[in-house]
Structure 1
Amino acid sequence: MASFSSLGIGSGLDLNTLLTGLMNVEKRPITILQNQQSGLRSQLSAMGQIKSAVSSLQTASDALKSSASFAAYTATSTDSSVVTASATTGAVAGSYKVEVTQLSQAQKVMAAFASGTSFTGTLKLELGKADATAADGFAESKSVDIDLTGKSLAGARDAINAAGLGVTATIINDGTSTGTPYRLVVTSQNGGTGNQIRMSGVSGLNYTDYAGTGGPGTKDANVTQSVAAQDAQFSVDGVAMSRSGNSVTDAIDGVTLNLAKQTTGTPVTVTIAKDPTSVASKINTFVKAYNDLNKVLHDLTAYNADTKTAGALSGDYSVRSIQQQMRTATVNTVSGAPGGYSRLGDIGISLQADGSLAVDSTKLNAAISDPAKDISQLFTGVSGTDGVATRISKTAKALLDTGGLVTSRTDGINKSISALDDRISALQDRVTAIEDRYRKQFTTLDTTIGQMNVTSAYLQQQLARLK
């Protein structure tokens, strides 16, 4: 029996088109499931948008749920060339007179050497402070032993820097061609008299020039002190103080003073005041995050009359629940909050008809700046009652946690997509088997009709010869 490599060649019938039509019918259930998957993937993407918006709102709420978030102050100085200041947590409003009589300095010791210098011995490098009660006049805070045997001037510099004691070494050259043009400069990394340098054990680097009960110290002839260590000396409202550095964090609670220059007889006034801008910025960030979530939820459930299309989560119960939970957490009163502030509306934040929040900046700034009132507990809570920010943060966390509405809804969509994958795979296997069967049947049909056509043509030829 003759056979044909392409359907329809033997029979002259359009069997390929017929087979394609039959298979399109067989594949229709797969197309339906794939369309369902496409819808589920749109829902999954939509839940991702909701998760991101809820997370952003949680972050913005967290920035307002502690009293420290409202302890924002500015620090100003009447002469920033002398003193600058910054306020942190713990600061309170006030004004302070600051005088600077001496700035902190880090000690520098330099030793002069000729070209080609090589060292022998182990250098004992110490940091500490002069102490008349110590036998050798020096109270060591930390030290290190550095083997300099066979090292050049550059090698000694590198070894000191690698020791990590808190000093740095550099080399300078005075440019002369004879004598001792090179200076090995050893500098304490921290200022103050408590971070002075002492060196011993290597010829040309000995420096123990401190007085004490044991008598004055010594130093090699080529070693000098180029900068003496000294503490910062200053006063705040007439109270004399001394610190090792020029950045002072513990003179005024919550305030850092940066000493830059000595005063010239006139004290500098440092003023600490409330910073309404910082608090307002945090509140506006919170409002924006709330409105962003509200818009996402609205857009994902809205119906577009022009395009006649509905949002990916139109009618979804989870969206309605999220909207309700967030709105409740936002608009409910905070019982016991001081200053008459029990609702966001009291400080100029009102709920609009579309579910968004609107800010009356004038009213908000007045509430923040009022020295007689404190808006913090409206957001943080009081006497066991959660504030607005605390409620929203907890609500967001519950939605995003394992088993929470957003997470469980997302997991459910993923499971549905996976289940459809299994059904589509099984249907594709079935369709493949059906196509193979049809193709075999059509091939047999094509071959049979083709053979019959050949026989018919032969008989017609023979009958023609009998005429």
Structure 2
Amino acid sequence: MLSTPGIGSGLDVNGIISQLMSVERRPLLALDNKEAKQQTQLTAFGTLKGALSAFQSSLSSLTSPSKFSAISANISDTSLATVSASASAVTGKYDVEIQSLAQSQKLKSGNFPSPSTTVGSGTLTVQFGTYSGGSFTLNPDKAAQSITISPSNASLAGIRDAINKADAGISASIINDGSGDRLVIASKDTGLSNALKITVTDDDGNNTDNAGLSQLAFNAATGGTSNLTETVPAGNAEMVVDGIPISKSSNTISDAIDGVTFNLLKADIGNTTTLNISRNTAGIEKAISNFVKSYNELNQTITDLSKYNAETKQASILTGDFTVRALQNQLRNTLSEPLKTAGGGLSILAEVGVSFQDDGSLKLDTSKLSNAVNDASKDISTLFASVGKTSDSLISFISATTGTVNGNYQLDISQLATQGTAAGSAPAALTINTGINDSLDLNINGTNASITLAAGAYDADSLAAEIQSKINGNTAFSSNNVAVSVTQSAGILTITSNQYGSSSSVEITGGNGELDLFGTATVTAGLDVAGTINGLSATGTGQSLSGTGDSEGLVLKVTGGGTGPRGSVDFAHGFAAKLNQVIDKMLDGKLIDNRIEGINEKIDDINDQRESLIRRLDDVEKRIRAQFTALDTMIASMTQTSSFLQQQLSRLPTIDSN
């Protein structure tokens, strides 16, 4: 057997086989070309998905109504205050005079030789409130705090550290004035209502003398003990807006002008500065301009992937692709269909200067956009975001879902939301005695806790304030966002939960002060708002009313008014919201994914064909090699026979002569 092809025949067998196989491999090359085309289409659809995703991200700034209700606040003299405004602010101009800044009360002790000097041990009880007319009125929103001063912390420095560690609404420091060290105690919060009353339970047995821990007692009310000296009085921020005096406990004021927040920096008595509140029209115009730009970038990507060049007669990767055409049509139809129930006085994009051009891109008329933005009768948010416009000012739109159907919905309220209450049955006892009638066990909005009132003589208002401060300052309640207001009428106390709805409740479950303070209390559970939206029963939760049927997902807040017909709400998914939904379906649905899946199946099929063809080509090459090996062997045998015959024939004359 010949081990080297062609050695017997002298033929270039390997070269011949290589040429023959290159012909046989032509179908394999065709499969490679098919796969390359499919891979190119796969890449193209990946590019398309990326462009859709990028465009969808750009829509986020337009799907929120707040983007279109942005308000700017500018104050002429920025050294006096910084000012910001929310969407609820009303545009206008105001004259503002800042007369004084709010400040925290500060108290100083007498001189001590050094920070290590022993002062005394016991308990400091800190209350917050207002001094006026020789009396102290408790701040009902701040509970009293107790700070234990142990013998090991009885030094001036130890007391300072214990106060700061307690986080009780006050801070302490030590200042050396040249003649000795003084403890300075400051209220952490500014305002007249955060002045300090510090009572002492002194371990030396005397709580009011100027010795031991009672050296830190302070009560500026008539007849009170004040062993500390006030260095800075508690003060409110005082300002005048358009001639109206305003007094607030903090330098951050958010309830003087609706939707406007002041951060006061400096007083300037006698001089006014101008505050301008205006719509942020530049921000709105930029957002819509960016929308047009982003859409045109998407449109260009689609065009580049699917266009046909008539001059060069060259098609693009996805020319004529049904999926791309369907996608283009959906996007254009979404932007072309008018919004019939938007409620903001606008229904088509052309009304804000956005229109289609012949190549499918969008064109922006900035002059028309500016006119629309500055037209107070038009609400551009309804043209882009999902917005409901109510006809009743005491009913507001909160939210909607993608399933909420565009429409005009009639509202009828059968029940307003209420708060849970517990009302006393008789005037409360006004003297609180320790261990006798100073505790109350309460369940408020499902949270249980107990409070202990400070012993003392009260009037009805101060007693209500003491109960409210102790409830709102209780950590079990505050950690669950439970808060109440406590009021009195003719001496009868009522506790009202700050929460609305069926989960709002107040129960007095025990405590030694229950009967003295509330008698047999009348408990009234809160109610959820109830009513119908377009004649269908809606679901009430607190003050929120959620629709069913076509209005499913629509949430409205009813804050007041009466029962019965309450007007209507016009709801529509604006163009940005609609586009967002359409693209969600494109990316998460089957429109593009089915196409990609089909391409991947074709690539898998091509790979299967390739493997099958490679196996067949291996067999063909083996057969051809076998044939050439047989030929080579045959020729070698024939050559050998020829050589033998030639050798024998060459000897014939010699045989004859012999």
TM-score (norm 1): 0.73
Distance 1:249 1:457, change over 3 A: farther
Counterpart check, 1:420 vs 2:418:
no
The residue type equivalent to 1:331 in the other structure is S
Q: What residue identity is the alignment partner of 2:225?
A: P
**Alignment of structure 1 residues 196-235 onto 2, 5 Å:** 209=218, 211=220, 215-216=224-225, 230-235=235-240
Question: Cα deviations across residues 334-392 of structure 1 (Å, max 9, x unaligned)?
Answer: 33666864332233222211111111111210121123444443445773554433433
- Match for 1:402 among 585, 589, 600? 589
Instruction: Give the deviation of 1:295 after TM superposition.
Output: 1.4
1:78 aligns with 2:265: no
Aligned counterparts of 2:283 and 2:14: Cα–Cα separation in 1: 74
Q: Shift of the alpha carbon at 1:414? A: 3.4
* Counterpart contact for 1:157–1:184, Cα < 8 Å: yes
Equivalent residue, structure 1, for 2:306: 301
1:43 Cα deviation (Å)?
2.0
User: Going by fraction, where is strand more abundant, 1 or 2?
Assistant: 2
Residue 450 and residue 287 in structure 1: after superposition, are their counterparts in 2 closer, same or farther (change >3 A)? same
How many equivalent residue pairs? 453
Match of 1:332 in 2: 337
Partners of 1:27 and 1:431 within 8 A in 2 = no
**3-state SS of paired residue (1:251):** coil
Which of 354, 359, 364 is residue 369 of structure 2 equivalent to? 364
Structure 2 residue 398 is matched with structure 1 residue 393 = no
Q: How does 1:216-365 map to 2 (within 5 A)?
A: 216=225, 230-304=235-309, 308-335=313-340, 341-365=346-370
Cα contact 1:3–1:447 (8 A) shared by 2 = no
Partner of 2:549: none
Secondary structure at the aligned position of 2:41 is classed as helix
- Report the counterpart of residue 411 of structure 1 in structure 2: 597
Q: CA offsets, 1:35-94, max 9 Å, x none?
A: 223222222222233223333443444533454332122212122211232222212212
CA distance 1:285–1:440, shift in 2 (3 Å): same
Residues 1:64 and 1:227: Cα distance change in structure 2 (over 3 Å): same
* Shift in CA distance, 457/334, structure 1 to aligned 2, threshold 3 Å: same
| 1:15 maps to 2:200 | no
| 1:290-314 alpha-carbon deviations (Å, 9 max, x no partner) | 2222212211111235665321111
1:34 corresponds in structure 2 to 32
Letter of the aligned partner of 1:232 in structure 2?
A
Query: SS of 1:391's equivalent?
Result: helix
How has the CA–CA distance of structure 1 residues 162 and 440 changed in structure 2, closer, same or farther, with 3 Å as cutoff? farther
Aligned-partner Cα distance in 2 for 1:11–1:433: 24
Among 428, 434, 437, the alignment partner of 2:622 is: 437
Once the two structures are overlaid, the 10-residue window that deviates more, 122-131 or 344-353, is 122-131
Structure 1 SS opposite 2:267 = coil
- CA distance, structure 2, for counterparts of residue 29 and residue 122 of structure 1: 99
| Matched residue SS, 1:250 | coil
What are structure 2's unaligned runs of at least 5 residues? Answer: 204-211, 388-406, 409-570
Counterpart pick for 2:93 among 92, 95, 103: 95
Q: Partners of 2:15 and 2:2 in 1: how far apart?
A: 22
Alignment check: 8 A CA contact 1:134 1:213 kept: no
Relative contact order, CA 8 A, sep 6+: which one is greater?
1
Contact 2:115–2:157 under 8 Å retained in 1 = no
Rounded Cα–Cα distance in structure 2 between residues aligned with 1:8 and 1:169: 106
- Counterpart contact for 1:60–1:282, Cα < 8 Å: no
Report the secondary structure of 2:67's partner residue: helix
Letter in 2 for 1:21: Q
Give me the identity figure in percent. 37
Deviations for 1:200-219, whole angstroms, at most 9, x for unmatched residues?
99999x96655468943657
* Contact kept? 2:146, 2:168, Cα under 8 Å: yes
Q: Which range moved further: 279-288 or 25-34?
A: 25-34
Q: Which residue of 2 aligns with 1:129?
A: 128
Structure 2: distance between partners of 1:214 and 1:461 = 151
Q: Which amino acid aligns with 1:55?
A: S
The residue that corresponds to 1:3 in the other structure is 3
- Identify if the C-alpha distance between structure 1 residues 235 and 31 changes in structure 2 by more than 3 Å, giving closer, same or farther: farther
Q: How far apart are the structure 2 equivalents of 1:453 and 1:121? A: 129
3-state SS of 2:128 partner: strand
Change (3 A) 1:157 1:45: farther
Question: Gapped runs of 5+ residues in structure 1?
Answer: none
Contact 1:81 1:261 survives alignment (8 Å): yes
Return the offset for 1:426.
4.3
Q: For residue 98 of structure 1, give the secondary structure of its aligned residue in structure 2.
A: strand
Q: 1:271 to 1:427 in 2, by over 3 A?
A: same
Name the SS of the counterpart of 1:33 in structure 2: helix
Structure 1 pair 12–214 and aligned structure 2 pair: CA distance change class (3 A): farther
The SS at the match of 1:312 is: coil
What one-letter code is carried by the residue in structure 2 that aligns with 1:49? T
| SS of match in other structure, 1:252 | coil
The alignment yields a C-alpha RMSD, in angstroms, of: 5.2
